[in-house]
Amino acid sequence: MRALVRTAAAAATALALLLTGCGGGGDGRADGRITIRFQSLAWQKESVDANKQLVKEWNASHPDVRVQYVQGSWDSVHDQLLTSFEGDEAPDVIHDASDDLADFAHGGYLADLRTLLPDRLTADIPQRSWRTSTFDGGVYGVPFLQEPRVLIANTRLLKASGVRIPTPAHPWSWTEFRRVAKKLTGKGRYGVAWPLKEPVSLTLNLGLSAGGELFHRGADGKVTLAMHAGDLVVPGTIHDQVNTDHSAARTALGMGGGDALPGLFGGKYAMVPLGFSYRQQVVEQAPKGFEWTVLPAPAGRAGLAQGVSPQTLSVAEDSPHKKEAAAFIGFLLRPANMVRLAKGDWMLPTGRAALADPSLHTADRGWATGAALAGALRSAPAQSVRGYPEWKDKVATPAFQEYYSGAIDAAELRKRLVENGNRVLARYQR
């Protein structure tokens, strides 16, 4: 869902945001009251509306601390934030994702939230979620929304094939999933389409189910790369579906998630692995009469475990109003409000109280399947690894793309990911 595009366009977006008042310069006081700036990355209408309404409700009940809503963009957030941090113009409250926080936290740009957050919020979010935003013992973001990878499938094709329908209690194994995809493949139809324009996070996060780790932290705290059998289960399955079984569409490898939906609707693909939030696009775009269902991703020896990088809310270290900014975060993430944000983004809340809301456990539109997977979500493998963005962009993305297309074999994939990757990480850990 999120693509960090480091281009001139990103720099232009950063400049535009700064010129429109995104910055937190000065002490944030206007007319004798405090003003804090909240940069939101909400982009779907329901989500934007929910965020703006909550800001309105806060301002109505907190006349001495006004929150100014600022619209950011997932496409350019990393570079925009870096520019604003270095220019001492960062927003007070920062919406981002946990896998983008490590370098900002280590760079001293984000406030350690351990003494700022209300105890209720700290206790409500599980430790497995807090680990996604914890670096060197400090907490630099509040993980509040998360989404598992699921299979969105054509119900009619599933029923016609006679395959066993998986549930969170009885999911497919990766081996069974490969057999099912072959059975669903027919004239003019592929069993599965893997939209892998950005292949790294999907591969690593689903790899946890098979025991894949790839990144290993030693006793000295340094991280190195090593590939074992579990690390090859998911990429090997995808590679074989494309190149051996011909049950996965080769043309989908260069697609983004939304690009594969027309093929799903038209019967060209029986299943598409996507983030949970893509259900909204299915509801909005599917033709009348299209029957679809949400299935859990395949399970391995680690069960349904998946890596996730939750959306987060952070406070800028240079904000003169950290206490007020943290109080606003506490308000946004009250259980009822967290449910509103989750439903607006078609995602799952991290908080236990919000996740227990009955509206998130209905069979309608796959909510119950997603909620059943929440307990299996773990910190993404590379969450706290310094140098990961460079490894991902320069090493892993081209290596996985070539492997999935059949241009290189597993031995060459291992060599590139590990040998070239360790040289990249070493530069960040000297």
267 φ/ψ sector (left φ>0, alpha ψ -120 to 50, else beta): left
The pLDDT value given to residue 385 = 86
State the Cα–Cα distance between residues 214 and 418, nearest whole angstrom: 8
- Helical H runs in 249-395? 261-265, 279-285, 322-332, 335-345, 352-355, 367-373, 388-390
SS3 415: helix
What one-character DSSP code corresponds to residue 326?
H
The pLDDT value given to residue 214 = 95
Chain segment 227-262, per-residue pLDDT in tens: 999 999 999 999 999 999 999 999 999 999 999 999
Q: How much is the pTM? A: 0.89
The pLDDT value given to residue 31 = 63
Percent of the chain with pLDDT over 90: 86
Q: Please report which confidence band the pLDDT of residue 102 belongs to, taking 50, 70 and 90 as the band edges.
A: confident
Two structure tokens written together for 375: 């307990």
Two structure tokens written together for 115: 């003494």
Two structure tokens written together for 103: 């370098």
SS3 40: strand
Q: Please report which confidence band the pLDDT of residue 184 belongs to, taking 50, 70 and 90 as the band edges.
A: very high
For range 339-366, the mean pLDDT: 97
For range 348-366, the mean pLDDT: 97
The pLDDT value given to residue 347 = 97
| 137 burial type by CB count under 10 A (0-12 exposed, 13-18 middle, 19+ buried) | exposed
Chain segment 115-149, per-residue pLDDT in tens: 999 999 999 999 999 999 999 899 999 999 999 99
**Reduced to 3 DSSP states, what percent helix, strand and coil does the chain have, rounded to the nearest 5?**
50, 20, 30
- Is-contact 202 149, C-beta < 8 A? yes
What's CA 125's distance to the chain center, in Å?
17
Instruction: List, in order, residues 6 or more apart from 351 with CB less than 8 Å away.
Output: 121, 124, 125, 144, 333, 335, 338
Whether the per-residue pLDDT at 28 is higher than 60: the answer is no
Lowest mean pLDDT among 55-64, 99-108, 313-322: 99-108
SS3 34: strand
Whether the per-residue pLDDT at 32 is higher than 80: the answer is no
Across the chain, what does the average pLDDT equal? 92
State the Cα–Cα distance between residues 37 and 90, nearest whole angstrom: 9
Terminal-to-terminal C-alpha distance of the chain? 33
Whether the per-residue pLDDT at 24 is higher than 80: the answer is no
**Strand runs labelled E in 72-222:** 93-97, 134-135, 138-139, 142-146, 149-154, 190-192, 215-217
Tell me the backbone φ, ψ of residue 37, rounded to 5 degrees: -105, 130
The pLDDT value given to residue 30 = 53
Whether the per-residue pLDDT at 421 is higher than 70: the answer is yes
Lowest mean pLDDT among 65-74, 81-90, 199-208, 376-385: 376-385
State the Cα–Cα distance between residues 45 and 49, nearest whole angstrom: 6
The number of C-alpha atoms within 13 Å of 17 and in the hemisphere containing its C-beta is: 33
The pLDDT value given to residue 44 = 86
Position 335, amino acid? P
Total Cβ atoms within 10 A of residue 216: 12
Whether the per-residue pLDDT at 197 is higher than 70: the answer is yes
